[in-house]
Copies of this chain bind each other. A is one copy, B any other.
């Protein structure tokens, strides 16, 4: 039984340093998306259960946090609401509900927590931040390019450093299955198996393809082609005979042409073996990988049928999602300079307290992060220890001697150097020093 002072399993309390680090990263991402012309959308933490149920497959459905009915219905043990599981279903609901009140196309971003009752583990939480960026209502390839350019700029803005986009197209993959004469009913399963190429050894993937019904030869050649150094050339020639494959290649080429420059040289890599597990993608798909980080830190693609399937109107859409917890975990520790006090105000006697609280408010209005001693000790040593604990840059001392002279002692907390400043000049003096 967990201790009652811990947050619920799989959730976290964020103390000051971590809140600041997270909020700073969110703010930078938000700023990038705003510059790209995306609009923010905030939906409630919970949705009606019927809006979410059945949208995430059997496995996903089990991970939905459901909210018990209330009042006289509580005893039924039934749920009527559920915590948001992702940002996409709420988007589909909003698109369905607000229709023409939304701009066309609707470019929106959403940053916030989602909740999944997954088994908690290293880096896996039940409450975690997600960041989605989507364009609903445009089938233009420029929209696909805009999304990845915005994601690339956002990753740069948070200082992720090295990363690259693996790119493919669902149409190219469909063409590939045609070229290898994979029977249509096996197609979905074959793609799911091929998606494991970055985790399992090639032989094992080929074996699994055989189990799914491919001939040993086809399985072996397909795997070999996809992981070959010249996989791109092989794919291009394999797809020569497939109309759908040609369409996919054209899609990829156009995407590389539109997004290559914005995302940066060498950062977009046509990767024939990229599949993306989710089956709702209909065109371009992509995934961001960063050296030293397992799995992908962002992913997305075009999903022209999803909004309708989720209860929205039948509109084309393309978008991406950043795995914020992974990104946040990968960021260099920024230090927490922001948490330091600029000025710590000691209080040597009750009589001077009103003057000092007034001064503190002045300093704050001038933009200085200022703390006032709130303990019960009248000893300077104790109060300076408090100032040091707060990592204050400067401390103010205003004892009987200073008061008589209408001066305040300013102590540099790093060097210990002290100087006296007239009370009338203190705010200006401190503002200039900080």
Contacts and interface: CB of A to CB of B under 8 A. Distances in A.
Interface of A: 2-8, 11-16, 19-20, 22-23, 32, 34-37, 39-48, 50-51, 62-63, 65-68, 70-71, 74-79, 81, 83, 90, 93-94, 96-98, 101-105, 107-108, 113, 115, 117, 127, 135, 138-143, 145-146, 149, 153, 257-262, 311, 338-339, 341, 347, 353-354, 357-358, 360-361, 364-365, 367-376, 386, 389-390
Contact of A37 (B45, B357, B371): B371
A93 B13 CA distance: 10
B104 A375 contact: yes
A5 B68 contact: no
Contacts of A2: 48
A398 to B, nearest CB: 13
A11 B43 CA distance: 8
Contacts of A37: 341, 369-372, 390
B44 A13 contact: yes
A44 B376 contact: no
A39 B15 contact: yes
Given A19-B41, A42-B13, A143-B374, A103 B390 contact: yes
A97 B3 CA distance: 9
Contacts of A139: 376
Contacts of A145: 357
A255 to B, nearest CB: 10
A375 B8 contact: no
A240 B146 CA distance: 74
A48 B4 contact: yes
A146 B102 CA distance: 44
Contacts of A34: 338, 369
Contact of A43 (B13, B311, B338): B13
